[in-house]
Structure 1
Amino acid sequence: MSPVVKACLWMLGSIASFSSMAVAGRELSGKLDTFEIMMYRSLFGVLIVVIVAGIAGTWRQVNTQSLRLHTMRNLAHFTGQNLWFYAVTAIPLAQVFALEFTSPLWVIVLSPLVLGERLTLMRGFAAVMGFIGILIVARPDMAGINAGVITAASSAIFFALTIMFTKKLTRTQSITCILFYLTAMQLVFGVIAAGYDGDIALPDATGLPFVIVIGAAGLMAHYCMTNALALAPATVVVPVDFIRLPAIAVVGMLLYGEALDLWVFVGALVIFTGNYLNLWSETRSRA
């Protein structure tokens, strides 16, 4: 199995995790604000990382060699994730994911500058096809611009920065180290942001399971994505995540009665075509 195919399999795990987190975030709306959700998510994440690292004996991999880069990565992710959690409570899930998926365009444009990766014609073509598919699904217009749309679109920029910083960290840092700083730093950010007004809400019996899902799924999503980025360039890994769009559109229809029409599947077909051509090109070039 080639590294590109392995990276794609890891991304499937990331897709399932992010979709679960979106549903749990929707269910928590009205019970906790986004800062509190991020705080509890990071708390559960820290506990999981500590337990797993202790069992696996990988604590020695945690170091302070790239502390500045870890901080930049987690500030970008914390900002983007808060914007994203707000968006999933304000607009349809498919629209959130569609706007979020503009981040590969930022990755493809900025990767040569931040990561030194080569921008090939096929990678650019795959990203453009993915974006066209998103436009077919979302069909945005000026009448639909609101706070949810703006926050979802803004989160894409911060997620693109997170992806590029993660890719840079994988060159020198282990996955245990990256995930430890992901959870520990964002727990600190969450406590500060959630507690600035002196009032931090506790999850009730109905909300606690969703908090646990967000904590576990959030960590698993980044574990899968970090493994994928360690195996293949960011401009190869990121377009695979487009599969999340038709998947969450179906989830939104089944759970929340959100509209689903033929254009969702037309857009998904365009996205899958771009992904397939990109993977075929990368596999052939590596061979």
Structure 2
Amino acid sequence: MPKMSVGFAMTLLIVGNLIAVFSDAMVKTLDSDISIFQFVFFRQLTAVIMLLPFCMKSSRKSFINGLKWHTLRGHIWLFGAVFMVFAINSMPLATANAIFYAAPLIMMPLAMIVFKEKLTKHSIAAGIIGFLGVLVVIRPTEINWAAIAALIVAVTLAANNLLIRKLPKEQTVVQTLLLTNLVGIPASLTLALWEGQVWNWQPILTAAGSSVFILIYAATCVVAYRSAESNKIASAEYSGLLGAVGVGLIWFDEIPDMAMILGTALIILPLIWLAKVESKKRRNMDEAVIES
């Protein structure tokens, strides 16, 4: 996949994160006694059903390539999905999303370790300020099991996005999304059976709706992280927090307090600043090439 500009990659992530909020909102509409493992299984099953028709003509070889990485990502995705359902149903939507958005900060040191990416002072500053914003939102004195679950989700999101670069470049976005969900179905079905609850197919429509939104988000991540260095664009993930605040307010009557507003500002403003810095840097590099 050809390289795209940092600005365009960040725009993709912004759109994807805003759309992902609606997936979280649908999860939040579930009853408190919902079978989590059944719901996660339904979400993966409906995702596969929706994606399979677009991959019917794909060769068997195209699916075998990189299967070990798809398997690893698929099970990390499954692990994160379980904790995501618990976290979203246990705390306000915006608060849960604020903790999820610790993922870009987690990605920065991971990218440095795994891919030897060099962290710029600007990306480090944006990450640190953004994480301070997350701390303001969750208030460390109020950390509970739901907050811990949300932090686990953040780690799984970071790991999944970094592992995108391990996937075969020749595979399409749709193939990647299909394999991520397909390889996790045996495990999610096993967990649902182990849970031992009576099967309730009623949430499958909610699961399907949630799948549509999260697949769009995952697709934007695949395209963006394949096309630009993660430390330069990861902070764009924070944009979805604004959407979470808005959806939480309109859909669930969750009124943000001053800590939420301040924390959101600390998360979003560095994103805008970083985008301008990277855009200016790229423009200067292009001018230098033209002059030479």
- Same fold, judged at TM 0.5 (above): yes
Matched, 1:42 2:44: yes
Query: 1:32–1:201: 8 Å Cα contact kept in structure 2?
Result: no
Determine the C-alpha separation between the residues in 1 that align with 2:245 and 2:159: 25
Amino acid at match of 2:132: I
Alignment of 1:77-96 (within 5 A): 77-96=77-96
Moved more, 217-226 or 168-177: 168-177
**Post-superposition shift, 1:174?**
3.4
Residue equivalent to 1:117: 117
Question: Deviations along 1:228-281, whole A, 9 cap, x unmatched?
Answer: 112211122321111111321222222222231344333333323211222222
Determine the C-alpha separation between the residues in 1 that align with 2:59 and 2:275: 35
Determine the C-alpha separation between the residues in 2 that align with 1:174 and 1:42: 19
Query: 1:243–1:268: 8 Å Cα contact kept in structure 2?
Result: no
Residue equivalent to 1:272: 268
Matching residue within 237, 241, 262 for 2:237: 241
Query: 2:127–2:235: 8 Å Cα contact kept in structure 1?
Result: yes
Matching residue within 240, 244, 250 for 2:246: 250
**Post-superposition shift, 1:286?**
2.8
Query: 1:111–1:117: 8 Å Cα contact kept in structure 2?
Result: yes
Query: 1:246–1:265: 8 Å Cα contact kept in structure 2?
Result: no
Residue equivalent to 1:179: 177
**Compared CA separation, residues 225 and 276, structure 1 to 2 (3 A):** same
Determine the C-alpha separation between the residues in 1 that align with 2:213 and 2:33: 19
Amino acid at match of 2:189: V
**Compared CA separation, residues 20 and 282, structure 1 to 2 (3 A):** same
Matched, 1:196 2:212: no
**Post-superposition shift, 1:96?**
0.9
Residue equivalent to 2:146: 148
Amino acid at match of 1:189: A
Amino acid at match of 2:254: E
Residue equivalent to 2:12: 10
Query: 1:2–1:283: 8 Å Cα contact kept in structure 2?
Result: no
**Post-superposition shift, 1:115?**
2.1
- Normalised to the residue count of structure 1, the TM-score between the two structures is 0.88
**Compared CA separation, residues 202 and 284, structure 1 to 2 (3 A):** same
Amino acid at match of 1:256: F
Question: Deviations along 1:115-166, whole A, 9 cap, x unmatched?
Answer: 232211111111112112223333x132x23221111112212221111112
Residue equivalent to 1:259: 255
**Post-superposition shift, 1:176?**
3.0
Q: Report sequence identity in percent.
A: 20
Query: 1:62–1:180: 8 Å Cα contact kept in structure 2?
Result: no
| Equivalent position SS for 1:259 | coil
Aligned residue-pair number:
281
- Normalised to the residue count of structure 2, the TM-score between the two structures is 0.87
**Post-superposition shift, 1:171?**
4.7
Amino acid at match of 2:130: G
Query: 2:107–2:158: 8 Å Cα contact kept in structure 1?
Result: yes
Matched, 1:284 2:280: yes
Determine the C-alpha separation between the residues in 2 that align with 1:191 and 1:229: 30
Determine the C-alpha separation between the residues in 1 that align with 2:207 and 2:61: 28
Residue equivalent to 2:286: none
For structure 2, the 5+ residue unaligned runs are 284-292
**Compared CA separation, residues 95 and 141, structure 1 to 2 (3 A):** same
Moved more, 17-26 or 229-238: 229-238
Determine the C-alpha separation between the residues in 2 that align with 1:197 and 1:85: 15
Amino acid at match of 2:190: I
For structure 1, the 5+ residue unaligned runs are none
Compute the RMSD of aligned alpha carbons.
2.3
Determine the C-alpha separation between the residues in 2 that align with 1:279 and 1:196: 46
Query: 2:164–2:226: 8 Å Cα contact kept in structure 1?
Result: no
